[in-house]
């Protein structure tokens, strides 16, 4: 009698498996390399100011911390589901544990420490974003209005006036050329003095990775140092009425020579002088907020400010 031997199980050759692993690794590397720069900056816009990399580092750090906490929590949940699952031979309830003092202290102190560190880093970044040099290279009074922007260049005594982007919904080319454009010199410290003619707006240029509210009756300020030449689109980031989406503007960062040519062009085209508060819908700025600015939005030296 002959005994039938079992047929050996056919397995994929090692060479084939190795090739599959190499192909998968190459595909993953190509995929990651395609979005490497975006991934490194946390899918935020590429920064064009000096403070931008610090903002990206903070953003990425918070995500890494959040994902670390998530991995630990998810791991503990899955471990409990597997280790303490009900088995077939279990007939009684498991031992009930009401409290564990060391564990409770751990999961109370650790979150408090994490929140404290996050708060400290937030304040540190905010202070850096709102830091003011005594004498910036350029001072621009950004005036928000329904539904456009005016730009007063305080030192140069010229202005740019804007109109609402009413053709935004048409989707036709050429819209950017009709938007009010703020021209800034590269490698310069720029101060933005934010005021509003009517309601609350918000001055936002995505590539600056920073925004600040434009509020009637209050003067908000911040400074940036431009580092890259280019043209960027800004917008209002605060819902301000029916045509909020059409409240767009352009920022163009150019060389110092081009900036001086732009200022001279504004003078020759009749845009010299500043657009004053008489255009405001409400008379908010007779007494500027605090005593840091005078009625012409010029910064008052500390020794000349009134004491409360």
What pLDDT digit, counting tens, does each position of 139-181 carry? 999 999 999 999 999 999 999 999 888 777 666 666 778 899 9
Angle at 21 between CA 17 and CA 25, to 5 degrees: 170
How many Cβ atoms from other residues are within 10 Å of residue 147's Cβ? Answer: 22
CATH fold of the domain at 138-291: Immunoglobulin-like (2.60.40)
Q: Burial level of 209, CB count in 10 A (0-12/13-18/19+)? A: buried
Question: What ranges make up the beta strands (E) of the chain?
Answer: 138-145, 148-153, 158-161, 181-185, 189-196, 201-205, 210-214, 220-225, 230-236, 248-254
How many Cβ atoms from other residues are within 10 Å of residue 133's Cβ? Answer: 10
Q: What confidence category does residue 289 fall into, taking pLDDT thresholds of 50, 70 and 90?
A: very low
Lowest-pLDDT range of 50-64, 76-90, 181-195, 271-285: 271-285
- Phi and psi at 211, nearest 5°, equal -145, 160
Report whether the peptide linkage leading into residue 73 is cis, meaning its omega lies within 30 degrees of zero: no
Rounded to whole angstroms, how far apart are CA atoms 75 and 137? Answer: 53
Dig out the tokens for 32 from the structure. Answer: 């990651």
Regarding predicted confidence, which is higher, 297 or 168? 168
Output the pLDDT for position 58.
95
In this predicted structure, the answer to whether residue 208 has a pLDDT above a threshold of 90 is yes
pTM over 0.75: yes
Regarding predicted confidence, which is higher, 30 or 135? 135
Q: Is 117 helix (H, G, I), strand (E, B) or coil?
A: helix
Q: What confidence category does residue 107 fall into, taking pLDDT thresholds of 50, 70 and 90?
A: confident
In this predicted structure, the answer to whether residue 28 has a pLDDT above a threshold of 60 is no
Residue ranges, comma separated, of all CATH 2.60.40.420 domains in the chain are: 138-291
């Amino acid at each position: 009698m002959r005994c039938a031997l079992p047929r050996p199980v056919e397995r994929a050759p090692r060479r084939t498996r190795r090739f599959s692993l190499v192909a998968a690794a190459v595909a993953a590397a190509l995929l990651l390399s395609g979005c490497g720069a975006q991934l490194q900056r946390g899918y935020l816009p590429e920064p064009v100011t000096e403070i931008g990399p610090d903002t990206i580092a903070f953003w990425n750090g918070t995500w890494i911390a959040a994902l670390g906490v998530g991995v630990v929590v998810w791991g503990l949940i899955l471990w409990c589901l597997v280790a303490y699952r009900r088995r077939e031979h279990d007939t009684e309830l498991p031992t009930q544990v009401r409290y564990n003092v060391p564990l409770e202290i751990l999961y109370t102190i650790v979150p408090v420490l994490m929140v404290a560190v996050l708060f400290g880093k937030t304040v540190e970044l905010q202070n850096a974003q709102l830091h003011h040099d005594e004498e910036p290279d350029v001072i621009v009074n950004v005036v928000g209005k329904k539904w456009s922007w005016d730009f007063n260049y305080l030192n140069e005594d010229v202005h740019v006036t804007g109109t609402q982007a009413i053709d935004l919904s048409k989707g036709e080319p050429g819209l950017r050329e009709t938007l009010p454009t703020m021209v800034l010199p590269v490698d310069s410290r720029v101060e933005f003095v934010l005021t509003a003619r009517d309601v609350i707006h918000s001055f936002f240029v995505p590539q600056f990775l920073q925004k600040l509210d434009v509020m009637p009756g209050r003067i908000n300020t911040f400074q940036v140092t431009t580092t890259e030449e280019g043209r960027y689109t800004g917008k209002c980031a605060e819902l301000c009425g029916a045509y909020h989406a059409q409240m767009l503007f352009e920022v163009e960062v150019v060389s110092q020579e081009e900036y001086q040519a732009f200022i001279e062009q504004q003078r020759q085209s009749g845009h010299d002088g500043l657009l004053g508060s008489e255009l405001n819908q409400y008379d908010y700025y007779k007494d500027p907020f605090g005593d840091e600015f005078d009625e012409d939005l010029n910064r008052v030296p500390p020794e000349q400010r009134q004491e409360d």
